[in-house]
Structure 1
Amino acid sequence: MTERLLVCGLGSGMDHSLAGLRSARRELVVVTGTPTDLARAAADLLLVCDPCDSTAVLAELSAAGVDRLDGVFSLGADNPPVISVLARRFGCPGLPLETALDCTLKDRRLAILRDAGLDLPRFATAESVEEALRAVAEVGLPAVIKPSDQTGSVGVIKVDSTEAVRERAAEALRLSPVGRIVVEEFLEGTEHTLAAFMVDGELHRFGFADREYGRKEEFAPYFFEGGDTLPSRLDAERIEEITDTVRRGARALRLDPAVINTDILRTRDGRVVLLEITCRLTGARIATEVMRLATGVDPLPNVVRLALGRPLELSELRPTRDGAAVQRFLPADGGVVEWVGNPRDVARRAGVHDVFWGIDLAPGTVVPPYRGGADVLAGVIAYADEPAEAEAIAERTLRALPLRFKEPAR
């Protein structure tokens, strides 16, 4: 019988991976709020609705006559609770809803990891501006304010003074559907992304990247992440230390069996701090393209096996390539577009995997000031034998983008 697989939610650029899921023995159903030509071409059935709304997804599936699913997962979309609801409704393998909520809601995740003895930033929660003021007094300055239930760096803001807390806390509270924020101690160090599978208590790492934060506070109070780099500058001992911390975090949150995405900070004095850990594939094309370019490892076949309740093929998680790959972004930070061309016109050069706009651009488009991680003007994925070479290719490519502003970006 043909297996029916549901991809519920596509992270930024993850529609590029849908074609790799097609099979003569498989019916591919895709749910997305932003249908693209790539999604339309790959899906046997494309449903358009909010993939973070389980009620809406179930209604669309029912209207389309879908009464059976064999597996369900997202491609980098941060909606584990919806995946859990769908898995239970259709009898598919998947984590319990409470487990998905534990790793998605920041306040719940932090409390569980703290109780498990992991190293975390000092933190407190708040449901009002007054509570936020007390939380900042408890945590100390500088601090980071985050909506508890948002993803993709939405509403993540640094505060350096008590005077700024009222405005910034009110902003974060407005962005939180449940009206709850987390106030965390601001820590400095190097940041990293670890991608893995957790099965039967064992963590199987298949990717480890350095996060690029050279311009992190250029748009303060908002943070800017410039991309990812492989291989890491950390040595094997430090990577294993971080891997052990992620393993402990996954066990504490009961993420088993699961595909794991994590963000880790290693402080200047050597502390390993788990900033985020959740049960989804690393998005923004990192696990599926950037890591794959450097290591040769394609995690998607094992993501499918996990969704179908089948054993992993661990041999497919062993690197077959020893190269370098980077993804680099340009921030969208104000201006009026005068002229825009096709970014692929600058992709025809050695070492360029892809070049893309982060937002829809046309003459006359008004680009607002940068307000967070989703405000990306353009990006490039590049590869080479060494990281410095890949970074240079990415920088040259971004400088050559076919784009001109009437009013230059700030």
Structure 2
Amino acid sequence: MKTLLILGAGKEQVPAITRAKSKGIYTVVLDMNPQAEGLKYADEYHIISTRDKKSLIDFVKNCDGKIDGVITIASDIPHMVSKVAEEIGVKHIPIEAACLTVDKLKMKEVLKKAGINVPPFRKINSLNDLKKFINEYAYPVVIKPVDNSGARGVLRLTEAVDLTWALNESKSNSRSGDVMVEKFLEGNQISTEGIMYEDEFYITGFADRNYEMLEKFSPNIIENGGDSPTLLSQDAKKLVNSEFEKAVRALDINWGPGKGDMIYSNGRAYVVEIAARLSGGNFCYDHVPLGTGVDIVDAYIDMAVGNSINTDCFKPKFQRGVAQRYFFPGIGKIKSISGLDKVKNMKNIVKVDFFIKEGDLIEKQSNHTTRVGYVIAVGKDKNEAVKFAEEAVKSVEFTFE
């Protein structure tokens, strides 16, 4: 029996744990939270922070038995995965590549040097730096921490936003204190995902991101799910995929997963960010399999432990509409939630989940981690899936004390 080390045991790592176990692979799971949901599914678990390099290395050095592979999904720690994997001598994304993707500024610098289309950007150290950039490129712009995820501290700045507040807010969400600014490009925002195997990059995920609530949550940038198949033309999709693959190769992700946040604007494809990991937000383990039958998590697990891969697994088996929408009920202490049973019984709703319960206090939604729940719907096409997802959201009622 092969053994897979999985870094992280949160809700979004559960699919990796359960898929590995279903394949007869022994799962060893690490997480600093003793209440993490995934721990109950693991064959073996240990309470260790997945960001504590020394503790991770000490663990694998003293681990009983052979570890055949190391992965995470939906957690922005590819550099930790690579460092642990190198320590035990198993397949991994190059450490330098993984480290580049968790520093958005360095990532953009490498991409720009390689000739990849990226929005104009700059590191900022002061309010004056921010004002200079705005004077040069005009509103709107985006300020963000160079080293965080989940849209924490990511703000879309317009004339109505206090720049001093925005700079401090973004810095407070940066682990290093470093922030950057980039031009906000109008256009179609796309989630892409793929995996590098034997020098071939297989793009398995492509969906339209939904930012219909951009003004409501301004200046915070909060995505309200996403839909597939894309509305883009085949030619536009090819441009996006081409720029995505060029970016992955420029960062030297020569094995394993790559995730892209892309924009199609004025006939050109741009890279916003590349992650050296599989995506969160249900994309890799729910959305893509439901829409195309491609299970990239399953394939990644096999790659990590050294099992053989039939590359047909990366090819779509079918195409149907998928739409995900989040619940944004308001702010306050929840008195009751009604309509959930109705939604669970809706024919085209395949998944509904909440991160809160009655009695919980909902605070202002400021990033993706503060969303309170979601539904995923399927349909014969994108429009039908969106219709079912939006009907489901409207069917749930929250009352507050």
TM-score with structure 2 setting the length: 0.92
Q: Residue 99 of structure 1 contacts residue 254 of structure 1 at CA under 8 Å; is this kept in 2?
A: yes
TM-score with structure 1 setting the length: 0.91
How far off its partner does 1:234 sit? Answer: 1.4
SS at structure 1 position matched to 2:115: coil
CA change 1:97–1:67 in 2 (3 A) is: farther
Q: Residue 356 of structure 2 contacts residue 373 of structure 2 at CA under 8 Å; is this kept in 1?
A: no
How far off its partner does 1:23 sit? Answer: 4.4
Alignment of 1:62-211 (within 5 A): 65-66=63-64, 68-161=66-159, 164-211=162-209
How far off its partner does 1:373 sit? Answer: 1.9
Which residue is 2:30 aligned to? 31
- Once residues 10 and 52 of structure 1 are traced to their aligned partners in structure 2, the CA distance between those partners, rounded to angstroms, is 13
CA change 1:374–1:234 in 2 (3 A) is: same
Q: Residue 70 of structure 2 contacts residue 85 of structure 2 at CA under 8 Å; is this kept in 1?
A: yes
In the alignment, structure 1 residue 274 sits paired with structure 2 residue 271: yes
How far off its partner does 1:140 sit? Answer: 3.4
- Once residues 216 and 23 of structure 2 are traced to their aligned partners in structure 1, the CA distance between those partners, rounded to angstroms, is 49
Alignment of 1:8-407 (within 5 A): 8-9=7-8, 13-23=12-22, 25-34=24-33, 39-59=38-58, 65-66=63-64, 68-161=66-159, 164-267=162-265, 269-331=266-328, 333-340=330-337, 343=340, 346-357=343-354, 359-363=355-359, 365-401=360-396, 403-406=398-401
CA change 1:395–1:134 in 2 (3 A) is: same
CA change 1:11–1:192 in 2 (3 A) is: farther
CA deviation vs aligned residue, 1:353-375 (integer Å, no higher than 9, x gap): 11111x33222x22112212222
SS at structure 2 position matched to 1:353: strand
- Once residues 36 and 341 of structure 1 are traced to their aligned partners in structure 2, the CA distance between those partners, rounded to angstroms, is 27
How far off its partner does 1:250 sit? Answer: 0.9
- Once residues 317 and 344 of structure 1 are traced to their aligned partners in structure 2, the CA distance between those partners, rounded to angstroms, is 35
- Once residues 342 and 68 of structure 2 are traced to their aligned partners in structure 1, the CA distance between those partners, rounded to angstroms, is 41
How far off its partner does 1:60 sit? Answer: 5.5
How far off its partner does 1:302 sit? Answer: 1.4
- Once residues 75 and 141 of structure 1 are traced to their aligned partners in structure 2, the CA distance between those partners, rounded to angstroms, is 35
CA change 1:198–1:220 in 2 (3 A) is: same
- Once residues 264 and 134 of structure 2 are traced to their aligned partners in structure 1, the CA distance between those partners, rounded to angstroms, is 23
- Higher mean alpha-carbon deviation, 190-199 vs 22-31, is at 22-31
- Once residues 268 and 152 of structure 2 are traced to their aligned partners in structure 1, the CA distance between those partners, rounded to angstroms, is 26
Q: Residue 11 of structure 1 contacts residue 284 of structure 1 at CA under 8 Å; is this kept in 2?
A: no
- Once residues 163 and 405 of structure 1 are traced to their aligned partners in structure 2, the CA distance between those partners, rounded to angstroms, is 30
Residue type of the alignment partner of 1:160: T
Q: Residue 12 of structure 2 contacts residue 74 of structure 2 at CA under 8 Å; is this kept in 1?
A: no
Residue type of the alignment partner of 1:361: K
SS at structure 2 position matched to 1:144: strand
CA change 1:66–1:121 in 2 (3 A) is: farther
SS at structure 2 position matched to 1:331: coil
RMSD, matched Cα: 2.3
- Once residues 323 and 223 of structure 1 are traced to their aligned partners in structure 2, the CA distance between those partners, rounded to angstroms, is 28
CA change 1:277–1:155 in 2 (3 A) is: same
CA change 1:92–1:299 in 2 (3 A) is: same
How far off its partner does 1:135 sit? Answer: 4.1
How far off its partner does 1:331 sit? Answer: 2.9
How far off its partner does 1:233 sit? Answer: 1.0
How far off its partner does 1:54 sit? Answer: 2.4
SS at structure 1 position matched to 2:27: strand
Q: Residue 239 of structure 2 contacts residue 268 of structure 2 at CA under 8 Å; is this kept in 1?
A: no
SS at structure 1 position matched to 2:117: coil
- Once residues 138 and 78 of structure 1 are traced to their aligned partners in structure 2, the CA distance between those partners, rounded to angstroms, is 32
CA deviation vs aligned residue, 1:335-380 (integer Å, no higher than 9, x gap): 22111369455211201111111x33222x2211221222212200
Give the number of equivalent residue pairs: 401
How far off its partner does 1:213 sit? Answer: 1.2
- List alignment gaps of at least 5 residues for structure 2: none
Alignment identity in percent?
24
- Once residues 173 and 72 of structure 1 are traced to their aligned partners in structure 2, the CA distance between those partners, rounded to angstroms, is 32
How far off its partner does 1:34 sit? Answer: 4.8
SS at structure 1 position matched to 2:372: strand
- Once residues 354 and 301 of structure 1 are traced to their aligned partners in structure 2, the CA distance between those partners, rounded to angstroms, is 20
